[in-house]
Chains A and B, each alone.
Chain A
């Protein structure tokens, strides 16, 4: 299918008022799955069947707190995260301190970073906050801010340790 056909297909799907297009990031799977479900009371169950999810796997909307149980009516596009943990304890290390907070696996790295630099975390001033990044221990590349924290845990892992590092935001 070439790009033009993709656009036609996308437009056709958008005109179908009963269809919700869903992109799901599954624990342990690097690529998201794209599925379509009908906008109905049973849409979550329909989605679980389509993805062949095991009963203990929870579905979250990205950056939202509680797992999905019913339907989300009126939506046309959803980005979801499938994960076995309802909460992940994130421990962030910066200088000599460690701060921790629990987040759903669907929280983005960006939201965790916002917490880490805020008064609830390390209370960094605006200049330091602008330089802050989160990294996995032993790595030297900042985590992509649009990634979800659940994608950095192994199955069964409930604690995620991250390092807060400062990289200059200017082009020095």
Chain B
């Protein structure tokens, strides 16, 4: 039965959150839902290096209005303070993470979100999604595509943290 007043974007997102592949990621310890009140979804991602010995977590906020036709807006998030953390400097992460989390504006005024081709505003910045269709959001992709990309990003940070520990 369809709930009254619930839009198709919310129904689709909620269905994905209850899907096998999303819940398996929760049970495997890759990610956790910290807050869900459509269209806002806050998740914690637990990345690992190859050995699995170094683990790092980061929080992200997703705005999912228009999902799945419109790609989610995704930003690094501090769930405790309810704010976007200061972007890391080159001494605080590897180049891929620094680039993804940098401060940039999508319309010369507003912060554009995670700088990756699957993210709402980065996708249309200089036609990035068209250049990297393998990393672009498509409406037939599952939410776990973005969760997996975030997992890869946080795991990159874990590899970097491990290398700093070893040095």
Confirm or deny: A110 has a beta carbon within 8 angstroms of a beta carbon on chain B: yes
Q: Is the CB of A10 within 8 A of B19?
A: yes
Chain A nearest Cβ from B3, distance in angstroms: 6
Q: Quick one: closest A residue to B151, CB to CB?
A: A110
- Complex formed: what's the CA distance from A167 to B135 in Å? 12
Q: Which of A107-139 contact B (CB under 8 A)?
A: 110-111, 114-115, 118, 120, 126-127, 129-130
Indicate the size class of the contact surface on chain A. 35 or more
A110 contacts B159, C-beta separation under 8 Å: no
**How many angstroms between the C-alpha atoms of A6 and B104 in the bound complex?**
39
Stretch at the interface among A86-94, A141-149, A153-161: A141-149
**Residue B156, interface by CB 8 Å:** yes
* Interface class of chain A by DSSP: mixed
A51 proximal to B (CB < 8 A): no
Q: How far is the CB of B72 from chain A (nearest CB, A)?
A: 17
Instruction: Give the distance to chain A from B36, nearest Cβ to Cβ, in Å.
Output: 13
Q: B residues within 8 A CB of A2?
A: 2
Residues of B in contact (CB 8 Å), total 46
> Contact between A142 and B134 (Cβ–Cβ < 8 Å)?
yes
Task: Tell me whether B53 is interfacial, beta carbon within 8 Å.
Answer: no
Given contacts A4-B2, A171-B115, is CB(A76)–CB(B49) below 8 Å?
Answer: no
Interface string of A1-30 (1 = CB under 8 A from B): 011111110110010000001110000000
Interface digits, B1-35 against A, CB 8 Å rule (1 contact, 0 not)? 11100101001101100111111101110000000
Q: Please tell me if the beta carbons of B134 and A5 are within 8 angstroms of each other in the complex.
A: no
Contact A110 B11 (CB under 8 A): no
Q: Which residues of B contact A170 (CB under 8 A)?
A: 99
CB atoms of A169 and B96 under 8 A apart: yes
Check if B145 is an interface residue, CB within 8 A of chain A: yes
Among A22, A111, A127, the residue within 8 A (CB) of B20 is: A22
Nearest to B8 among chain A residues (CB) is A3
Residues in A whose Cβ lies below 8 Å from that of B11 = 3-4, 7
Instruction: Tell me if B126 is interfacial: C-beta within 8 Å of chain A.
Output: yes
Q: Are B95 and A130 in contact (CB under 8 A)?
A: yes
Inter-chain contact B21/A79, CB cutoff 8 Å: yes
Q: Which of A7, A111, A120, A127 has the most CB of B within 10 A?
A: A7
Given contacts A6-B15, A23-B20, A63-B28, 15 further A-B contacts (CB under 8 A): A3-B8, A3-B12, A5-B2, A10-B15, A77-B20, A77-B26, A77-B27, A79-B20, A111-B50, A114-B155, A115-B50, A126-B96, A129-B94, A145-B152, A171-B115
A→B interface (CB under 8 Å): 2-8, 10-11, 14, 21-23, 34, 62-63, 75-79, 110-111, 114-115, 118, 120, 126-127, 129-130, 141-142, 144-146, 167, 169-171
Please list 26 pairs of residues, one from A and one from B, whose beta carbons are closer than 8 Å in the complex, sorted by A's number: A2-B2, A3-B2, A4-B11, A5-B2, A23-B20, A23-B24, A75-B27, A77-B26, A77-B27, A78-B20, A110-B151, A111-B50, A114-B155, A115-B50, A126-B95, A126-B159, A126-B163, A127-B94, A129-B156, A129-B159, A130-B94, A130-B99, A145-B149, A167-B132, A171-B115, A171-B131
